[in-house]
Structure 1
Amino acid sequence: MEQQKRMVLMAALVAALLMLSAFVTATNELESKKAASAPSPLSEESILPDPAKCWEDLKSVPGCAEAIMHLKLRQLSKECCNAIVGIADDCLGVITGSFFTKLILKAACKIL
């Protein structure tokens, strides 16, 4: 009976260690993803992203800013999509002004 209790206790400890290890691994992966995302350029008040700085990368690609402003998905080029994917989500939200427009642009870029 005593040996059976030890085996149950040992199995519980092993299970707890495996769950703890999985949790730590998942937390580390989440932290590394957060660290990899680029921060958005902040305005002088440091509350919201600065729209002018958010547009800088998009304006450097010919026709990209116009395609985004008028939601002309057929005019999106691969270079424009690379610029869209490269900017922070906060910036894209400020530029498009709509959560749904942001999703449409990202979906269109994934299709290209």
Structure 2
Amino acid sequence: MATGEHPYSVADRPIEVENLINNFPAPSLQGSPLVSPELANFVSRCLKKEPEERSLARELAFDPFVQQIHNFSDEQHVAWLREYTQRKEQLRQMNMNTQIQ
């Protein structure tokens, strides 16, 4: 969803999504030009399938992505949210145009 797309191309077929979730590696944002490396790493830490490999909430609180956001002023938060909202809408439009073609 961070890229404006569902992480699985078969999102409209729940049984197939369940199969992908259960039998394949978690989706990754690593290397995506649409998100920062910090966000990609944060999401990766959250999506580890094995609970013992997944970061705890108290560990995630100190993740560089969270710390970056935590240190923002109110104005920076507003600007970040505006940029995110605009980018999300652009991606949604791009995805709609791609699906139409």
Coarse TM-score class (shorter-chain normalised):
under 0.3
Give the TM-score taking structure 2 as reference length: 0.27
Pick 1 or 2: higher relative contact order, CA cutoff 8 A, min separation 6: 2
Between structures 1 and 2, the one with greater helix share: 1
